[in-house]
Structure 1
Amino acid sequence: MRFAKTISPIAAAVATLLACAPLAASAQAGPVIKIGFAAPLTGANASYGKDLQNGVQLALDDANKAKDNVIGGKPVTFELVAEDDQADPRTGVQVAQKLIDQGVSVIVGHFNSGTTIPASQLYEKAGIPDIDPAATNPVISSRGFANMFMVISSDAQNAGSAGTYAVKTTKAKRIAILDDRTAFGQGEADEFEKAVKAAGGNLVAHEYTTNQATDFKTQLTKIKASNPDLIFFGGLNPQAAGVMKQMRALGINAQFVGGGGVKDIDFIKLAGDTSDGAMAWEYGRPLESTSEGKTFADRYKQRFGMDVLSYAPFGYDAAMAAIKAMKAAGSSSPDAYRSALKSISFDGITGKIAFLQTGALKNGSSTLYQVKNGQWTAVTTVNGS
C-alpha cells in the first residue's frame, strides 16, 4: 500500500515564494524602452560615431541608476539599439528603417548631415522623434517636420559666426574658401560665405574637393594665386590637417580657419608643426568652462577609458532630452511625449536645451579655438541664434 507524502505549511510557503520570485523580479524590472542610435561606427568617421554613442550610453546609464527612473508609474530600463550608418546616405536610410522596425521610441542621430537629411524623412513618416546631436546643415530644421529636433547649433549659427568674426574681428581683407561638397562641408562653406558678404568682406576664391581626397594642391594653388590672408575649410579631419600641411608646403601663410569637426587632437597630430596658429569654430561652449562639463569629462574617461573627442556631450543631452520628455508625459509613446519634448527646457552639459518651433536649438552657441603650443585653446564663445 502506497502512502501520499505530506508537505508542511512552511515548505509549501517557501515553494510558492520561489515559484513567484522570477515573476516578481520581472515585474519590478518593468518595461524596456529602446533608444535608437545611428552614426558611422566604421570608416573614416568612426571615432566621431563612437564618441557620440558613448555619450548616449552614459545618459542611459545615469537614467537607469536614477531613483526616479519611472514612467507611467512603472520602473523602466532604457536600452541602446545602435546601428552603423557608415556615413553613407543610402546605408543611413536602410539603418533608419531597421531602427523603426525594431520598435525604438526615439532616435538619437545621425552624425553626418548627408545621412541625417534622408533618414529623418523616414522617421517623420513613422512619427518617431529624431533628436540630432551632430548634423548641422540648416535644411535639417527647415522642412517643417514635427519629429525633428536639434541639440546642436546649425551651420547658419556656427559658420555664420565664423564669417562675421573673420571680417569684423580678424580683419581679413582677402578671404578664400575650400569645401568638400558634402551636405555638411558645403553647408558650412555656404553659410560662411553668406556671413562674409553680409559683413562687407571680400571673397577672392571658392574651390571644391571631395571628402575622400588627400591631395589639395590643385585647389590650393588656385587659391594662392588670389593672395588670400584667410582660408576657411568646410569639412572634417583628417582632411583639414592635410589642407593645413599642404598650405604651408606651398608657401601659403594665410590664417587657416576650420568649421565644426576640426578641433580635435588628431588635427594637431596630423598637421604637426604646421598646426600652430590654426583656428576652428566648434559647436557649443567649452566643456571645461562649467563644473558640469568638467564632471562629465571625468566620468566619461572613467567609464570608457578615453577622453571626450568632440560630440559625446551632445549625444548625452539628446538622450536626456528624450528621457525627460518621456518622464514628463508619463509615456514612451512618441504621440504621448512629443508635445513634452517640444516644450522641454533644462540645463544640459552643452548648455540650455530648449527648442524653437522648427525643432532647432534655441539660443545655441559656438566657440572659436586656436592651437597654441600644441594645444587647442578657447578664444571666444558666441551665443544666440
Structure 2
Amino acid sequence: MSDLHEPVSEDAAARIIHTASIVPAPLVIRGGGTRSLVPNDEQHDVLSSARLSGIVSYNPAEMTMTAKSGTPLADILAVLSEKRQMLSFEPSDLRPVLGTTGTPTIGGVFATNASGPRRFIAGAARDNLLGVRFVNGSGEIVKAGGRVMKNVTGLDLAKVLAGSRGSLAFLTEVTFRLLPVPETSATIVISGLDDAQATAAMATALSMSVEVSGAAHLPETVRGHFIDGALPAQPATVLRLEGLSASVAVRSEKLQAAMAAFGLVSTLDPGMTDRLWGEIRDVRPYADQTERPLWRVSVAPTAGHQLVAALRLETGVDAFYDWQGGLVWLRMEADAEAGLLRHFVKAVGGGHATLIRAPAAMLAATPILQPEPDAVAALSARIKAKFDPKGIFRSGQVG
C-alpha cells in the first residue's frame, strides 16, 4: 500500500526525496491529480505539492508572478482578473474529459505544458515560464532562471522541466510571464466548409495582417456541442480577433471580406467568443462521460485534415481542429489504434500523438506518449540521469 507525502515546505520535500533516493524507492509526483495520463499506481508512494500553496510575489507593472507549485490555478486567475491580466497560453481544464476530480495547480500546468488556442501566437506554457525552483532526484534544492527569458548559462532548465510530467524533478515554485486582458474580442464564423476547405481558409486568414489569435475548425459532428448549439448550421470554421475595440472592428471587417470568398460569414460578440474559445480549449465535445480513446495530435497545420481523412478510411474516428489545423483532437470509436495512428502521423510529415483517455487496460498496453527517435531518446536519457540519477520519479501523475 502506498503512502501519501504532502510536504509543507521545500525543505521538507527535499528530505523526503533524499530519503527515497537512498533506498531507492520510487515516487509518483502529483499536483491536483487532474491531468493524469495513467491510472493511480498503488505500488509507489505519492509526493504531492498540494500544501505548497500561495502567491510569492506579483508585479502587475512588470507582468510577472511567482507562485508555489501547488497553488490552485483558480486562485492565480482570480488575482490576475483584478488587474485585468491573464495567462496568455490559456491552460485547459480537462477534468470533464478525463473524468478526474481535484483542483488544477499552477505547477501542474507547467509540468504538463498545458497550452490552449492562443498557443500558435503566444507560445506554449513553457515559453511563458521564466524561472523555477525544484528538488532533483538526489534531494537537492535548485533554482533555475528568474525574471528573464533565458538563463545566462545557456541551459534553460525551466524549459526542460516544462512538459516533463514529474519525471525529472519536483517543482516547488514557478515564475511566469503575464499579458493584459484584451479590451474586446470577436469571432468570425465561416459556415459549410469541409476539412480541406477550412484548412485553406485558416491559412489565408493567418497570412493576413489582422492578428488572428484563434483558428479552429469544428466539423458538423461536433459543432452542436459548442455554445449550446448556437453556431450557425453546418460545419463552422472560427477565427478569433482580440485587442482594442476600434482595432478589432477594422480587422473584423477586413477579415470578413476575405473569408466571404470561402463561404457564408457571420460573427460572434465578445461574450459568445469567450464561451466558444473556452469550450474549444477544454475539448467540450469529448467531455462525454465515456472512456472512448481520445488522442491529442500535433502535426503541421496543413497536415491535420490529411491525417483524419486517412484514418477515416481505416477506422471509426471523430475529430476537430485547433491551432490552424495543427492540433487535432481525435476520438476513436473502440480501439486506441496507436500503431495505425502513428503510422499516418509519420506519413503526413511527422508530429506527436498523445493518448489522453482510454480504459485502464488499454492505457496500460499502449505507449501513451509519442515514441522518441533514437537520438532524442538518448538525449532524454542523459537529461534524466542528471536530474534523477537513481530513477525514483515516475511520470504521469501531475495536474
Q: TM-score, normalization: structure 1?
A: 0.29
Q: TM-score, normalization: structure 2?
A: 0.29
Write 1 or 2 for the structure with the bigger share of helix.
Answer: 1
Largest Rg, 1 or 2 = 1
Higher RCO, Cα 8 Å, sep 6+:
2
Write 1 or 2 for the structure with the bigger share of strand.
Answer: 2
